[in-house]
Amino acid sequence: MQDALKDYGPATVLSEVTFAVRSGDRIGLVGRNGAGKTTLLRLLTGQLPPDGGSVRRAPGVRVRSLQQDPVFEKTATVDSVLDAAFHDLDALEIELAAAASAMSAGTPESVLRHEEILEHYVRRGGPLRRSRKDAVTLAFGFRGREGAPAESLSGGERTRLGLAALLVENPDVLLLDEPTNHLDIVMVEWLENFLARYPGAVMVISHDRTFLDRVTNETAHLRGGTLRVYPGNYSTFRAALDAELEQQAARAAQDARQISSLQSSADRMKIWGLGMSKLARRAGAMQARVDRMQARATAAPPPEERSARITFHAPGSGDIVLDARHLSRRIPVEGGQFRTLYQDVNVQVRRGERIAIIGRNGAGKTTLLRALLGLEASDDPRAKVLTGARVGVGYYDQALRGVSPEQTLYDVAREYVQKDPQAHDLLGTFMFPFDQHDKAARILSGGERARLALLKLAQEDRNLLVMDEPTNHLDMEMVEALEIALENFDGTLLMVSHDRAFIEGLADRIWLIEDGHFYEYPGWEDYRAKHRSLAELEAEEMKAAAQAGARAAPRPAAPRGKGLWHLKREVEAIEADIARLEAELDIAQAALNSAPPDADFTALGRAAHDLELALERRLEQWSEKGAEVEEKEG
């Protein structure tokens, strides 16, 4: 991208942006909503043409981007969507088979042609296609649902399926716009681990600070139509930007003081020089020096971008805010069976506590939240939920129930204030531009709906805030403004969230719903210490194996006290590894069978033998872990 320019009407979104994505890059793209991040991605994919400058892609380089609302064919299933991602590889496999057949002639040209196609096939990830599909299907919750029609999926599941297909395709450049939306914590951590090993380039837009810190090593900052790239992840970038602006402000202030002092001297010299040519010349020279200093002076930092100002007021309440006993919930599944979400949950919430409910998608987090509010029934007849004295519940509702689709932003804000100007001021506080205040609720974007839901919640003065995924669809600055507001909130907070930085910064209790069981931890650090991710376990095993000089593939090992959920995840990880080894073994055996006479058969045979041994070890481990799962389930 060279001097790229993009206008929308009279507004310039991108101004002479020069930028390049290279192989192996891990870039986080950050900036305010409306700064042009999505526009930049669309220029890179060719979906939008620039209004000036140029955007070039190297021949044969495949650039793909994540669609937030993907559209699939009416007859498509989960499996057919994922298989369609192999379209290019399927064609390449046909070429490879034809080249292998032609190689029987033994001509140098046919051997070179086969090597060329095989190298291209390997670079495109062909040998690992089956294991990649299996791993993605498992990680994103589609295992056992491969035959489900794509049109039957929820909006979040369709977005997740689109992301899964993108990862299966394995393009050279992966452009991800908010990929963590609709992913639970386990899925996000899996995606981080996948992208760490991704062979191509990755550029990502995300409001998840932890995700950006773990995935990226460069940060591209868009502001005022210009782009600047900083080394390091998001946290490193923020520290560098803050230090840079502080230094710029200090230099600008110092330059301004020097210029002011010299200007005063020049002005006095002009007065003294009236009628005296020598002093007049000196005054002119001094003024010329002032002009030169002004031309070279450090400019003041750009004015701080306006941020939302959110305040939650909390009237006093009794010490016991909620007391729930014997909450249980089962839901019907296929075959007339039932699945337990949680059973006999007994909890008490005290004034001022901040509780985060976490777990996999579909585990029952929102169901439990609604049960605590009395909106969802319990299957146990003994169940009861008691609300404490003077407790007022404020529910963060992105669905905007109670708001008519035809109501405008102004109409909603006017319900909370006495005068028209106050309604406009209130909307401005939540970052709604004045020229959009007549926008109807039915056409609001996800981010606008989220901000309107926060506006409503902040006006209600409730002392128990109940929030289901409050950071979804908010940009980074809005998430941080909400975090500050909740830090200063004197009441009680109960939330469902997958944003790890948000949880870590706010929650002092963690409730985990996992495989039909309810667990409680004193805080995020305690949860992480006792509930490490598979990626962390694999990293520890890999380090230990390297130190011991082990040749076997790393095996995730259950830490002391590990439950059924982790064992099942380990079995699934081993299954994915088995599929990968089988695919690699197929390629190794094919290479051995089709090798030319002058090939190194010893090396090819050793490679196939090593893969066979590794596969045998993983099959043994799969059998051992499967027995542990059966024992715990029994």
- The token duo for 278 is 């020598």
Q: Which amino acid is at 394?
A: G
> Of all helices (H) and strands (E), which one includes residue 5?
strand 2-8
The SS3 call for residue 495 is strand
Q: How far is CA 71 from CA 67, 410, 463, in A?
A: 9, 33, 42
Q: Are residues 557 and 511 in the same domain?
A: no
Helix (H) or strand (E) holding 387: strand 384-387
Q: What pLDDT shows up at residue 570?
A: 77
Describe the crossing of helices 87-102 and 108-123 by its angle, rounded to 10 degrees: 160
Look up the CATH number of the domain holding residue 399: 3.40.50.300
Choose between 559 and 418: higher pLDDT: 418
DSSP 8-state code for residue 35:
S
CA distance 171 to 174: 6
- Residue 146 and residue 265 share a domain: no
Q: How confident is the model at residue 586 (pLDDT cuts 50, 70, 90)?
A: confident
d(C-alpha 363, C-alpha 368), whole Å: 10
State which residues form the domain around 243.
239-296
Provide the edge-to-edge strand list for the sheet that holds 384-387: 338-350, 320-332, 384-387
Residue 129 and residue 49 share a domain: no
Instruction: Establish if 305 belongs to a structural domain.
Output: no
The answer to whether residue 554 scores a pLDDT higher than 60 is no
- Check residues 269 and 494 and name the one with the higher pLDDT: 494
Q: Per-residue pLDDT tens for 250-262?
A: 888 888 888 888 8
Distance separating alpha carbons of residues 542 and 546, to the nearest angstrom? 6
Residue written as token pair 């020069």:
18
Stretch 573-592: mean pLDDT: 76
In a domain, 312, yes or no: no
Shared domain check, 503 and 423: yes
Judge whether residue 592 has pLDDT over 60.
Answer: yes
List, for residues 310-344, the tens digit of each pLDDT value: 999 999 999 999 999 999 999 988 778 889 999 99
Highest mean pLDDT among 21-25, 471-475, 488-492: 488-492
Please check whether residues 226 and 243 belong to one and the same domain. no
Amino acid symbol at 56: R
Q: Which two tokens stand for residue 75?
A: 């007859």
Contact 77, 150 (CB under 8 A): yes
Q: Is 289 helix (H, G, I), strand (E, B) or coil?
A: helix
In a domain, 68, yes or no: no
For position 597, what pLDDT does the model report? 61
Task: Give ∠ CA 502-506-511 in degrees, rounded to 5.
Answer: 90
Task: Among 296, 311, 345, identify where a domain stops.
Answer: 296
* Integer Cα distance of 632 and 634 in angstroms: 5
Pick the last residue of a domain from 128, 149, 171: 171
544 shares a domain with 571? yes
**pLDDT tier at 593, thresholds 50, 70, 90:** low
Residue 553 lies in a domain: yes
Question: In angstroms, rounded to a whole number, what is the distance separating the alpha carbons of residues 301 and 220?
Answer: 18
Residue 66 lies in a domain: no
Contact indicator for 342, 513 with CB cutoff of 8 Å:
yes
Using the predicted structure, report yes or no on whether residue 561 has a pLDDT greater than 60: no
According to DSSP, the β-strands at 509-514 and 517-521 are antiparallel
Question: Is residue 503's pLDDT more than 80?
Answer: yes
Angle at 36 between CA 434 and CA 50, to 5 degrees: 120
Q: How many CB atoms lie within 10 A of CB 262?
A: 16
What the block records as the tokens of 9 is: 């009407």
- What mean pLDDT is predicted for residues 400-408? 89
Indicate whether 502 and 590 sit together in one domain. no
Q: What is the mean pLDDT of residues 612-627?
A: 76
pLDDT of res. 553: 43
pLDDT at 292 over 60: yes
Structure tokens at 439: 């926008």
552 pLDDT more than 60: no
Same-domain status, 382 and 259: no
- Pairing state of beta strands 63-65 and 226-231? unpaired
pLDDT higher than 70, residue 628: yes
More confident residue, 536 or 273: 273
Domain-located, residue 483: yes
Q: Work out the percent of the chain whose per-residue pLDDT is above 70.
A: 91
Predicted local confidence at residue 559, as pLDDT? 40
pLDDT at residue 438 greater than cutoff 70: yes
What pLDDT is attached to residue 490? 93
The band of 550, judged by pLDDT with boundaries at 50, 70 and 90, is: very low
Residue 538 clears pLDDT 70, i.e. is over it: no
Is residue 121 pLDDT above 70, yes or no?
yes
How sure is the predictor about 558, in pLDDT bands with cuts at 50, 70 and 90?
very low
Beta-strand pair 11-17/201-205: unpaired
Residue 498 has pLDDT above 50, yes or no: yes
Mean pLDDT of the chain: 85
Same domain, 163 and 177: no
DSSP symbol at 531: S
List the helix and strand counts (H, then E) for the chain.
Answer: 20, 18
**pTM exceeding the 0.85 threshold for the entire prediction:** no
Q: Can you name the residues that pair with 355 across neighbouring β-strands?
A: 494, 509
Predicted pLDDT at 249: 86
Report d(CA 343, CA 148) in Å as an integer: 29
Q: Give yes or no: residues 252 and 291 share one domain.
A: yes
Question: Could you give the C-alpha distances from 42 to 10, 47, 149, 575, in angstroms and in order?
Answer: 20, 5, 29, 37
State how many domains the chain has: 5
For 413-468, give the secondary structure using H, E and C. HHCCCCCHHHHHHHHHHCCCCHHHCCCEHHHCCHHHHHHHHHHHHHHCCCCEEEEE
Distance CA 285, CA 290 (A): 9
Co-location of 500 and 372 in the same domain: yes
If asked whether residues 466 and 538 sit together in one domain, one would say no
Greatest alpha-carbon pair distance for the chain in Å reads 108
Q: How far is CA 577 from the centre of its chain?
A: 25
Please, is 503 exposed, middle or buried when counting C-beta atoms within 10 Å of its C-beta (0-12, 13-18, 19+)? Answer: buried
Give the end of a domain, one of 503, 526, 549.
526
The verdict on residue 490 lying in a domain is yes
Does 67 fall in a domain?
no
